[in-house]
Amino acid sequence: MNDGAQYLGLDVGTQGTKALVIDADGRVLARASRTYGLLPGLPPGAAEQHPHTWREAVRGCCAELLADPRVARERIAALGVSGQQHGCVLVDERGEVLRPAKLWCDTSTAAEAAELRVPAGFTASKVLWTARHEPELWARTAHVLLPHDWIDLELTGELVAEAGDASGTGWFDVRARTWDLAAAARVDPELPARLPRLVAAGAPAGRLHARGAALTGLAEGTLVASGGGDNMCSAIGAGAVEPGSGVLSLGTSATIFGCASKPVHDPSELVAPFCDSTGHWLPLLCVMNATGVLEEVRAAFGASHGELTRAASEVPLGSHGATFVPFLQGERVPNLPLSTASLHGLRAGSLQRGVLYRAALEGVALNLAWGLERMRAVGFAARELRLVGGGAKNALWQEILADALEAAILPLDEPETGALGAALQALWTDGRTRDAGLTCAAAVAGRTARPVGFVEPRAEHAAAWREMRARYAERIAALS
């Protein structure tokens, strides 16, 4: 490795941008963040942000990082960008943004997604919507980019994309890791000519040009890694860089993903067959209801999560027979977008905060187990899951998840695995300038987020959880 070098990682998300700088051993030297939200006043279902908001967040984060005395501007050898997936950034021939970006969570394009038979969040539906509803703007569009691609453009002046993020567009051949031009043409005949050049995993997007150097405060010519989608970079940061390794991310929604040696094919389309950003593949499953369910219970009782967790820890496995089907936001896994949440098995005395909070913890875990069973059926074999996200610190939930998922749970020491993964990808890309055969796994070994615990499934609870999973599956079948 480049001894003495430092590496900067950016994670440009939906709720804000997070950034950090690491040294050549992967130690975090400094952190920064900026928050923002969706554009107000949009029609129902629309979810948009202006890319300039992301750019200014990057500017602010970089300035804060460089002001930290532990960060040496002249030592930063490379930077990488993680970005929210599926967003649609349209630019003209000069690279100027033509409209706010429609985001992954924009449901105003649901009809177009159904027509194209792609998942509702994918970029394809947003392009078709624009071509139909804003044809004059579409005619002026020269390039279609994803959020992290656009940040790379601002940094380097290069129009590039990479396989990980690109596999969430709806016009990508995951197996061949290249654009599916026929699929792009089905979205719009002009789309194939408006796609950026693809760069291979480990290859750079380019180097900072004058405007990128001014934006970041770094030296012109600094190497910029290809970057990737947020899940792809989080996989790197969490250490899921070799086939068989997996990650569970607990946020408002929850995702299970991992590194695979070949693409998966799920006939039900519940498991996304993404590429990762290291040259492998990233099967991914996303449920819509996770920590948001716990927050609803917390708000109902007016107590803290800590208080409710302590109360729930005194309730036995199975929540006295109460089962919480947690579909407060509808659900995509299983594919029940119009479903609602429900409580079953209530008896006298069940309406206590500890019972309902534990039922919520178990209900989310049961739904994740339902989805993980599908992942395993198509070849996802991870029996250890590295745990990240807002819900990762709850020790009771860690135990429940280990039992429900029949997998060891490894909470990690680094909360920002997306930004860390982007920085580590930059380290890998820099290393490849001296050793073209360097793999990501070799480059980041010992530098990823580290486990701070190891929670194994408890054999004495296995029979009870088998019964609970079977009962939950029956309830799901009744809703389908």
**Residues annotated as part of the active site:** 230
Closest CA to 340 of 351, 350, 329: 329
Residue given tokens 């600094």 in the structure block: 222
Q: Identify whether the C-beta of residue 103 lies closer than 8 Å to the C-beta of residue 48.
A: yes
- Over the range 435-459, which residues count as b (16 or more CB within 10 Å of their CB) and which as e? eeebbbbebbeebbbebeeebebee
CB atoms within 10 A of CB 140: 15
Residues 377, 412: Cα–Cα separation, whole Å: 27
Residue given tokens 């807002």 in the structure block: 390
Mapped onto helix, strand or coil, the DSSP state of residue 279 is coil
> Interior CA angle at 162 toward 160 and 163, to 5°?
150
Q: Identify whether the C-beta of residue 23 lies closer than 8 Å to the C-beta of residue 60.
A: no
Q: Is 349 exposed, middle or buried (0-12, 13-18, 19+ CB in 10 A)?
A: exposed
Q: How far apart are the first and last CA of the chain?
A: 53
The encoded tokens of residue 371 equal 């989805």
Residue 430 CB-half CA count within 13 A: 27
Q: How many residues does the chain have?
A: 480
Closest CA to 118 of 127, 152, 21: 127
